[in-house]
């Protein structure tokens, strides 16, 4: 394995100490030892993905348990498949009656709806009937008949999700409708865990939720955390490195979940305008944003939009940056990443450019 691959595998969450002058060595070693003692890491499986939490804090071990509990709490509320989840109850009562839900869920649904409107419906949490028809929540996937897609599309309109703040209820107006927070829940969960840990005094942490990264502060040595932007065509390779402090890096890509039928690949990010997997000329979209919730929704939405529309949208916003990998082998980073993104895809014939406002 070449050096680049080793770095790709080992970088997330590991500390890279640079060599230091001899006179500083002792102090440095002492510092490293105390940092290592305070460095706690645990991996678990939740929300259908592998999560690794690295927390630098003397109570790190307990704090990670708290973080994992928070994830389970959210999973029980937000899962579209777990019996009894608030989301499942809303879906089961579609076309029947409004369901009372905690304010927290109401707010997340409202945020999801707003992001849907802002992105011209590229992000649509009411897409679930179509996601189901493709089998992405089942064991078996297959291309559904066009007739089925045509019948289901009218059930994916976000305007038919009625949120009533006063009574704290959510209502899907048509029978057969269903909401699915799969495109935003992990980002939201990382924000919640981040807030929880910060509230308990954590000043340095790295949260990886299925490869989506959210960080608190910097590494204990004061340098920024590093996140890799994966090569969508090779899980052991990357097209670039990001240096980040106290922010989130979230990627959506067709390569993450897909099936093959008659030699063609069909992935799990659906274009709500057609009901088919989005074919927008992109292999992946990585969003860098302080809000994990927004980063997650936007990674899905901008993937659907395609490069041109996504860049137009980015120009209207000032709270996120993005890295796109196109099917033509181009890596495009937005200009706010000028100092933090390093392109590393040249060996694999990727080309690179920076997009300006």
Is residue 269 involved in binding ligand ADP (CB under 6 A)?
yes
| Residues linked to residue 231 through DSSP beta bridges, in sequence order | 234
- What's the start-to-end Cα distance of the chain, in Å? 39
> Least CB distance from residue 200 to ligand ADP, whole Å?
27
CA 132 from chain centre, in angstroms, equals 20
- Cα 84 from Cα 3, distance rounded (Å): 48
Is residue 326 involved in binding ligand ADP (CB under 6 A)?
no
Q: CB under 8 Å to 265, separation ≥6 — which residues?
A: 254, 258, 259
> Least CB distance from residue 110 to ligand ADP, whole Å?
15
Residue closer to ligand ADP, measured from CB, 108 or 202: 108
Stretch that binds ligand ADP, among 67-75, 119-127, 200-208, 326-334 (CB under 6 A): 119-127
Residue from 60, 182, 254, 336 touching ligand ADP (CB under 6 A): that is 182
Phi (first) and psi of residue 300, to 5 degrees? -70, -50
- Nearest to residue 251, comparing CAs of 286, 282, 227? 286
- Cα 200 from Cα 59, distance rounded (Å): 10
Is residue 272 involved in binding ligand ADP (CB under 6 A)?
yes
> Least CB distance from residue 260 to ligand ADP, whole Å?
17
Phi (first) and psi of residue 44, to 5 degrees? -140, 175
- Cα 272 from Cα 62, distance rounded (Å): 42
Residue from 123, 255, 313, 350 touching ligand ADP (CB under 6 A): that is 123
Q: Which of residues 65-124 bind Mg ion (CB under 5 A)?
A: none
Residue closer to Mg ion, measured from CB, 79 or 300: 300
Residue closer to Mg ion, measured from CB, 252 or 284: 252
> Least CB distance from residue 352 to ligand ADP, whole Å?
23
Is residue 183 involved in binding Mg ion (CB under 5 A)?
yes
Is residue 337 involved in binding ligand ADP (CB under 6 A)?
no
- Nearest to residue 326, comparing CAs of 233, 228, 236? 233
Question: CB under 5 to 8 A by kind: which of ligand ADP, Mg ion, none does 123 bind?
Answer: ligand ADP
Rg of the chain on CA atoms, in Å: 21
- Cα 294 from Cα 287, distance rounded (Å): 9
Stretch that binds ligand ADP, among 5-13, 66-74, 117-125, 196-204 (CB under 6 A): 117-125
- Cα 130 from Cα 137, distance rounded (Å): 10
Is residue 208 involved in binding Mg ion (CB under 5 A)?
no
Binding footprint of ligand ADP, residue count (CB under 6 A): 22
> Least CB distance from residue 253 to ligand ADP, whole Å?
8
Say what angle helices 103-118 and 292-305 make with each other, to 10 degrees. 30
> Least CB distance from residue 271 to ligand ADP, whole Å?
7
- Cα 353 from Cα 357, distance rounded (Å): 13
Q: For residue 122, give Cα distances in angstroms to 151, 183, 225, 303.
A: 19, 11, 31, 9
**CB atoms < 10 A from the CB of 271, how many?**
20
> Least CB distance from residue 216 to ligand ADP, whole Å?
21
Residue from 101, 125, 178, 206 touching ligand ADP (CB under 6 A): that is 125
Query: Cβ-closest residue to Mg ion?
Result: 300
Residue closer to ligand ADP, measured from CB, 176 or 201: 176
Residues of the shown chain interacting with Mg ion in the complex, contacts defined by CB under 5 A: 183, 252, 296, 299-300
Residues of the shown chain interacting with ligand ADP in the complex, contacts defined by CB under 6 A: 123-125, 127, 131, 136, 180, 182-183, 186, 210, 252, 256-257, 268-270, 272, 296, 299-300, 304
């Amino acid at each position: 394995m070449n050096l680049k691959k080793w770095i790709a595998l080992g970088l997330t969450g590991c500390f890279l100490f640079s060599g230091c002058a001899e006179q500083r060595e002792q102090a440095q070693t002492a510092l490293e030892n105390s940092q290592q003692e305070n460095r706690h890491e645990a991996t678990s499986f939740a929300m259908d993905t592998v999560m690794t939490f690295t927390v630098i804090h003397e109570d790190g071990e307990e704090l990670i348990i708290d973080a994992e509990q928070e994830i389970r709490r959210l999973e029980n509320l937000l899962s579209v498949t777990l019996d009894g989840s608030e989301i499942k109850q809303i879906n089961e009562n579609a076309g029947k009656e409004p369901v009372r839900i905690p304010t927290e869920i109401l707010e997340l649904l409202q945020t999801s709806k707003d992001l849907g409107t802002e992105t011209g419906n590229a992000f649509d949490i009411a897409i679930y009937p179509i996601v189901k028809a493709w089998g992405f929540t089942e064991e078996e996937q297959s291309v559904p008949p066009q007739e089925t897609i045509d019948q289901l599309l009218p059930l994916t309109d976000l305007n038919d999700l009625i949120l009533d703040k006063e009574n704290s209820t959510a209502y899907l107006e048509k029978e057969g409708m269903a909401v699915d927070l799969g495109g935003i829940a992990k980002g939201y969960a990382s924000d919640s865990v981040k807030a929880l840990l910060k509230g308990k005094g954590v000043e340095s942490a790295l949260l990886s939720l299925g490869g989506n990264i959210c960080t608190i502060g910097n590494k204990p040595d004061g340098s920024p955390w590093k996140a890799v932007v994966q090569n969508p065509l090779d899980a052991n390779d990357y097209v670039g490195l990001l240096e980040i402090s106290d922010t989130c890096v979230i990627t959506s890509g067709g390569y993450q979940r897909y099936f093959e039928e008659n030699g063609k690949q069909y992935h799990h990010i659906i274009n709500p305008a057609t009901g088919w997997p989005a074919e927008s000329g992109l292999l992946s979209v990585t969003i860098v944003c302080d809000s994990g919730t927004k980063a997650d929704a936007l990674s899905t939405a901008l993937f659907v939009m395609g490069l041109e529309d996504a860049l137009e949208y980015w120009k209207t916003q000032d709270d996120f940056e993005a890295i796109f990998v196109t099917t033509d082998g181009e890596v495009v980073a937005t200009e706010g990443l000028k100092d933090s993104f390093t392109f590393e895809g040249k060996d694999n014939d990727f080309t690179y450019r920076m997009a300006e406002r």
